[in-house]
Structure 1
């Protein structure tokens, strides 16, 4: 993460104070009440609570844990290194080891890739390169009690073992057991970046030394790479904040819990879902099969799970689970989605197949909720005062105003060839 400029991750939790009172989303993706997920720190995310039918939004309550982090060793730091091929045993891992004669240079250190800030040696023989190269970095601390966790990031090619003040804290791409100068890496990693959590008990007041040995997978390996950072988290402060808009942008830098508060609506909109467009007799040259358009004319999200669309012949289509019609949005129900898509490829808000045709002479279409309550009913006809030019011509009939009575023929028109499914009528 550190190698790609990403500083860490935080847990995001979403809750509803009243169950089933809203639809929750992060960056447009619908998520369940009680959702927990991990997101990158310092990257904004957009959280939204859309009220369900019968509720109005009140506010968000956000509880965040703000964590302070301190860089003890940064990527690109200057390291001392030993590239002689000598076996240094275990003494080189200790803070007091005499490394004054070692050369030094900024990371990335290595050879063979062309992206090194410091090129280290390998012994001169390309067929018998050194297996192990040693790196050391010291830093000073006065108060180690303020750290409650440490994060180590290693950029490695091929394998590595890291030590803090003489104690092993990380091993990557290396076999288990004792490690010697001649021990090859167990796998050929190419510039792999790994994160490790380290106990802050390994720190001490005064001089601290981070020591890393990089191992080749074999003497003929053509390159090595090394960079490293060590960060300490120093505090975690809980903060509570109220946000009065249903959409809130947060930039995590610690765990965040968001709870949406909604109130029961004093009144509800009559006929919240209305049929606004009907295609009952397609033109032969653009046969999309029959379809209808629904419109949510409320400011709330409506869960259509278990709702039904029926015709006058007793056919019924049951809406699948988790179907949500968003506020002031359209949804198209298709007799055949494949045929519909062939004529209207850009319409994404579609469902089907409802599998039965609509009468060219007119019939009764109804939308029912899960309790079989009629939410909307249109008894359309193909004679005046209903539009008379939609049968087999490629025209649909459109409700001119979604707030008008859609059971009156005078409120409909046949104006647009092939219709305007899923969009507002102009």
Structure 2
């Protein structure tokens, strides 16, 4: 008993600031839609596959069309309140669910299959094999990125080369990975976005 009485017990409130500092230090930095200094233009449409016959299947083993975004920054970005669309008259056609994060220097895959009941990210629209324009926009209806593609060949994607920055070209699909070089047409000329 005497040993216990000799111990000095410090009030717990003295440890509270230390706990707060530790929690703050562990917090992961994520850029959000509300931050005015966020360069959301650094998140780009990187690749799409508008005619997926047997390239990559979704969680339900369906070969649906897909869209790949790429975060070119060193910070994760919260895409809550951002949109994808294939309609110039309605650029806010499909919104990213609350809490959708694209990690730093990473890819985010979205299935363009008009099947909102499936798990994962599935748009309310499909891509058309005959060609269209795909828009990436914010809550203020500002178009942050877009690409117009012409008629697509099965299992040939439309992507940026160089990865994340270059013009769009037809290429072999690189689902959730760095884009590679162009696919050549019969005349052996790379097909590029004009």
Please indicate, yes or no, whether the TM-score normalized by the shorter chain is above 0.5. yes
Match of 1:144 in 2: 4
* Structure having the larger proportion of residues in strand: 1
C-alpha distance after superposition, 1:246-293 (max 9, x if no partner):
xxxxxxxxx72233598xx99654722101111101226876121100
Distance of aligned partners of 1:325 and 1:240 in 2 relative to their CA distance in 1, 3 Å threshold: same
1:401 aligns with 2:162: yes
| In 2: Cα distance, 1:336 partner to 1:420 partner | 19
Give the number of aligned pairs.
162
Q: CA deviation at 1:365?
A: 0.8
Alpha-carbon distance, 1:351 to partner: 1.0
Q: How large is the Cα RMSD of the aligned pairs?
A: 3.7
> Does the 8 Å CA contact 1:288/1:336 hold for their aligned counterparts?
no
State which structure, 1 or 2, has the greater radius of gyration over its C-alpha atoms.
1
Identify unmatched segments of 5+ residues in structure 1: 1-140, 149-233, 242-254, 342-347, 383-389
Distance change >3 Å, CA 313–CA 283, structure 1 → 2 = farther
- Counterpart-to-counterpart distance in 2, 1:283 and 1:403: 25
1:37-56 correspondence runs (5 A): none
**1:123-178: per-residue Cα shift (whole Å, max 9, x none)?**
xxxxxxxxxxxxxxxxxx43433457xxxxxxxxxxxxxxxxxxxxxxxxxxxxxx
Aligned pairs for 1:114-153 (under 5 A) are: 141-147=1-7
Q: Could you say what secondary structure the match of 1:144 adopts? A: helix
Distance 1:351 1:271 in 2: 21
CA 1:324 to 1:359, structure 2 compared with 1: closer, same or farther past 3 Å?
same
Normalising by structure 2, we get a TM-score of 0.65
Unaligned runs of 5+ in 2: 30-34, 57-61, 181-194
| Separation in structure 2 between the aligned mates of residue 310 and residue 284 of structure 1, nearest angstrom | 24
Residue 106 (structure 2) aligns with:
329
Paired with 1:403 and 1:285, the residues of 2 have a C-alpha distance of 21
Describe the shift of the 1:239–1:336 C-alpha distance in structure 2 as closer, same or farther (beyond 3 A): same
1:275 is paired with a residue of what secondary structure?
strand
* Pairwise CA distance, 1:310: 0.7
Q: Residue in 2 aligned with 1:391?
A: 153
Flag the 1:317–1:240 CA change in 2: closer, same or farther, 3 A: same
- Kindly indicate whether the alpha-carbon contact (under 8 Å) linking 2:48 and 2:68 is maintained by their aligned counterparts in 1: yes
TM-score (norm 1): 0.33
Q: Is the counterpart of residue 295 in structure 1 residue 70 in structure 2?
A: yes
* 1:268–1:336 CA distance, 2 compared to 1 (3 A): closer
Q: Is structure 2 residue 96 aligned with structure 1 residue 311?
A: no
The 1-side partners of 2:15 and 2:124 are apart by 54
Which of 117, 121, 134 is equivalent to 1:351? Answer: 121
Q: How far apart, in 2, do the equivalents of 1:371 and 1:289 lie? A: 30
1:41-120 aligned at under 5 Å gives the runs: none
Contact residue 70 and residue 164 of structure 2 kept, 8 A: no
Label 1:256 to 1:398 Cα distance change in 2 as closer, same or farther (>3 A): same
Shift of 1:396: 1.8
Q: Distance in 1 between matches of 2:11 and 2:42?
A: 46
Q: How does 1:242-253 map to 2 (within 5 A)?
A: none
Q: Distance in 2 between matches of 1:319 and 1:380?
A: 22
The structure with more helix, counted as a fraction of residues = 2
Which of 124, 134, 141 is the equivalent residue of 1:372? 141
Structure 1 residue 360, shift from structure 2 partner? 1.8
Residues 1:268 and 1:313: Cα distance change in structure 2 (over 3 Å):
closer
Please give the per-residue CA displacement for 1:342-382, whole angstroms capped at 9, x wherever unaligned: xxxxxx9x511x13221223221111112211111112224
1:361 maps to 130
What residue in structure 2 maps to residue 256 of structure 1? 19
- Match for residue 413 of structure 1 among 163, 170, 174: 170
